[in-house]
Structure 1
Amino acid sequence: MPIDLPADTDALLHLVLAGGAPEPRHGLLTAHGSAAAALRAGPSAWRAAGCSGEQLTRLLRPDPDALSRGRQWLAQPGRHLLSIDADDYPDLLRSVARAPLALFVHGDPTALWHPGVAVVGSRTPSPTGAELAAEFADAFARSGLAVFSGLAAGIDGRAHHAALAVPDGRTVAVVGTGPDRVFPPRHDRLQAQIAERCAVVSEYPPGTEARAGQFPARNRIVAGLSLGTVVIEAALRSGALITARLAAESGREVFALPGSVRNPRARGCHRLIRDGVRLVEHPDEIIEPLGAVAARLGQALRTRLDAPTEQARPTPPGSSSRSDPDYQCLWQALDENPIPMDSLVLRSGLTAARLSAMLQLMELDGKVVAVHGCYCRKP
């Protein structure tokens, strides 16, 4: 049965499937204002934008199997494709070099805007390294920061698990495969839990299997979404060091934990420290300096949602100062009992996407509490 997607979403999927260098396709979006208009512009415009011969061929005749997989994946609830020129595309990531043309998101797109820290390190950590990853991720989640990582074995997995174990903790997984694939396979349940609670993100279309070169590329997204990156055990040649370098190049804070001189997994961290990266021994040494930056990102979220600033907000949501009737409607739909999203959709008549954005703002304002995917007014 044919799957009908919004015209611009379908056109954006076509652009993503063209592959190759992102710059020509970025240029097409900028020049024509939308993915649909860029596709309608035709081969002469594509060529003028710098598209390669292979990209031209794929734009004219996209792989039908890949197109079908993408459409089927996007047609399911909780699946999104964010264009770099869309309001929901995270500003932090948009500012990095070679920002992805689009992001496939399984879960809540507004999670990508939440202030957070990247936790990265060895795929085969020492017992101490694994414990530290869990300890730091737990502290970040309890402080209200999201934990960003790459769903890899080792440090990544421990950090994701620790954040999920915190009530209302947030964690975002950036994967190096299509969003419908899991690597390593043993993280299938973990990936599903992250998608349900927060978001799983990929620049690769559905059906894309794990390939070595995709994982270093994935690291720029991990670094780009985060206010800072903390490295917990990393060999001298490792993906974690790539993430740290990309974070520094994007103007983000980088932190490294020291280790034993006899531990080869600590040598990458020691090199970072010698090169001037901040040595840290406790999560508070990361949480405190990022506090001001996190507040600015929260302000950006409020601005994006056309909401009042903290200084201009004297009364709670649902009061007469909220001129937006959607907020009034949502506030009336909430009470002191945790309510699942589908029930809020029915009570309010609003879309899940709109509700998700407003609920995150209310959480930032301290008016709403999330409890295992359900929401209630804060006591």
Structure 2
Amino acid sequence: MTEHRAWLQLASVPSLGGSRIRRLLERVAPAELCSLPERELLQIGMTAKQAKSLASPPMAKIEQALLWAEQPNQSILTFDSPSYPSLLKEIASPPPVLFVRGNPSWLSEPQIAVIGSRNASIDGRESAYQFAASLVAADYVVTSGLALGIDGQAHAGALKGGGATVAVLGAGLDKIYPARHRELALSICEQGALVSEFWPTEPPRPQNFPRRNRVISGLSVGVLVIEAEQKSGSLITARYALEQGREVFALPGSIHHPGSRGCHALIKNGAKLVETPVDIFEEVGALTECVKNNQIDLPLPQPENEKLPFPAVLANVGNEATPVDVVAERCKQPVHEIMMQLLELELLGAVTSVPGGYIKTRRG
């Protein structure tokens, strides 16, 4: 843990990014760098504020993080850890420290990021779910940001498909955001990993999410965008992907739907138009047996043929917004239990939340 302590000390220095730390460590080891007097830190290029911060680190915060990493299924990866994902090391400013809950080995497996709008349409949610299930069937890890909408459906589709999924957070791992995805986050820990460059108790802040987005693309060999408005976090992630030399894919949609405009803009600027998972496999390596055998199509999974849970709840959600308390009254169950059941049905793509309640999707 001594080495981790030094890396955490470096990570606590304000405005000292991964690329700058990497250059400093070309001269000295982390522990040696942390023990240098302020005058020498100034001589090797640190600002006065950075040198003072490194000389007076927040030891209570560091010790708390070390204790966090001693808990089961939790770990800290530093830039020189053997298990630090090599693909992420290639980006311009890699995080010096990653906090991981789950199996960190998934971070080094081939990953496809699936991202998109928080306010996705029913078709967009279903596409995210089904594409994710097909990607894990081809032995890719599905990576996303745990957000509502496309992100959540991508994680859920990967889990249902029996594969692994990685969620990159814009907050500390003890501050799961959004709160509605806490149960989903627990499932991801068991079948993949949660990862963040932010300290475990760091709350979600607006400025964290662009930083989170560069990690999503940095971990992945390609990024699939499913529904995005022209000014959105998904397009920030796509821009990072292009800067990092990753493949960018976009799912087209209706010209009348605002959520399609971002994808169409990406396609106009060179992103590959995607209609099936095969379009992705052909570009990043075609790792499935179907593609190797020159089969022209890899069918999307058809989860609508599976038996869905909570049939009573599903039967009482209509094609128009049905309030939660109305569903609870019809089912003669407490509202909090109905909420949990609706959340699971939403993750399965059977219902979707809208203003005023829930509606049933085509799958439901």
Q: Relative to 1, partners in 2 of residues 1:48 and 1:151: Cα closer, same or farther, differing over 3 Å?
A: farther
| Larger displacement relative to structure 2 (257-266 or 45-54) | 45-54
CA distance in 2, matches of 1:245, 1:284: 23
8 Å Cα contact 2:138/2:287 also seen in 1 = no
8 Å Cα contact 2:35/2:55 also seen in 1 = no
Unpaired runs of 5+ in structure 2?
289-364
Q: Which amino acid is 2:194 matched to?
A: V
CA distance in 2, matches of 1:132, 1:160: 12
Q: Which amino acid is 2:25 matched to?
A: L
Paired residue for 1:287? 281
CA distance in 2, matches of 1:49, 1:111: 36
Aligned-partner SS, 1:241:
helix
Aligned-residue offset at 1:40: 2.1
8 Å Cα contact 2:34/2:55 also seen in 1 = no
Aligned-partner SS, 1:119:
strand
Q: How many residues align?
A: 288
Aligned-residue offset at 1:199: 1.1
Identity of aligned residues (%): 42
Aligned partner of 2:72 among 64, 68, 77? 77
Aligned-residue offset at 1:64: 4.3
8 Å Cα contact 2:146/2:168 also seen in 1 = yes
Aligned-residue offset at 1:282: 0.7
Matched, 1:268 2:259: no
Q: Relative to 1, partners in 2 of residues 1:28 and 1:292: Cα closer, same or farther, differing over 3 Å?
A: farther
Matched, 1:30 2:26: yes
Unpaired runs of 5+ in structure 1?
1-5, 295-379
8 Å Cα contact 2:281/2:287 also seen in 1 = no
Aligned-partner SS, 1:135:
helix
Paired residue for 1:20? 15
Paired residue for 1:127? 122
Q: Which amino acid is 2:16 matched to?
A: A
Q: Deviations over 1:252-309 (max 9, x none)?
A: 1110010101100110001011111111111111123222689xxxxxxxxxxxxxxx
Q: How does 1:290-305 map to 2 (within 5 A)?
A: 290-291=284-285
CA distance in 2, matches of 1:49, 1:239: 36
Aligned partner of 1:185 among 176, 179, 184? 179
Aligned partner of 2:87 among 86, 92, 106? 92
Aligned partner of 2:157 among 149, 155, 162? 162
CA distance in 2, matches of 1:164, 1:19: 37
CA distance in 2, matches of 1:135, 1:74: 34
Q: Report the TM-score, using the length of structure 1 for normalisation.
A: 0.72
Give the number of the structure whose alpha-carbon radius of gyration is greater.
2
Aligned-residue offset at 1:47: 2.0
CA distance in 1, matches of 2:24, 2:34: 9
Matched, 1:230 2:221: no
Paired residue for 1:377? none
Q: Relative to 1, partners in 2 of residues 1:126 and 1:89: Cα closer, same or farther, differing over 3 Å?
A: same
Q: Relative to 1, partners in 2 of residues 1:44 and 1:65: Cα closer, same or farther, differing over 3 Å?
A: same
Paired residue for 1:308? none
Paired residue for 2:354? none
Aligned-partner SS, 2:166:
strand
Q: Relative to 1, partners in 2 of residues 1:98 and 1:24: Cα closer, same or farther, differing over 3 Å?
A: closer
CA distance in 1, matches of 2:159, 2:139: 12
8 Å Cα contact 1:133/1:232 also seen in 2 = yes
CA distance in 2, matches of 1:19, 1:266: 38
Q: How does 1:1-379 map to 2 (within 5 A)?
A: 6-22=1-17, 23-33=19-29, 35-167=30-162, 169-291=163-285
CA distance in 2, matches of 1:19, 1:87: 26
CA distance in 2, matches of 1:54, 1:90: 31
Q: Relative to 1, partners in 2 of residues 1:292 and 1:283: Cα closer, same or farther, differing over 3 Å?
A: closer
Q: Relative to 1, partners in 2 of residues 1:29 and 1:121: Cα closer, same or farther, differing over 3 Å?
A: same
| Larger displacement relative to structure 2 (79-88 or 111-120) | 79-88
CA distance in 2, matches of 1:128, 1:30: 50
CA distance in 2, matches of 1:97, 1:293: 28
Q: Report the TM-score, using the length of structure 2 for normalisation.
A: 0.75
Q: Relative to 1, partners in 2 of residues 1:229 and 1:255: Cα closer, same or farther, differing over 3 Å?
A: same
Q: Relative to 1, partners in 2 of residues 1:48 and 1:200: Cα closer, same or farther, differing over 3 Å?
A: farther
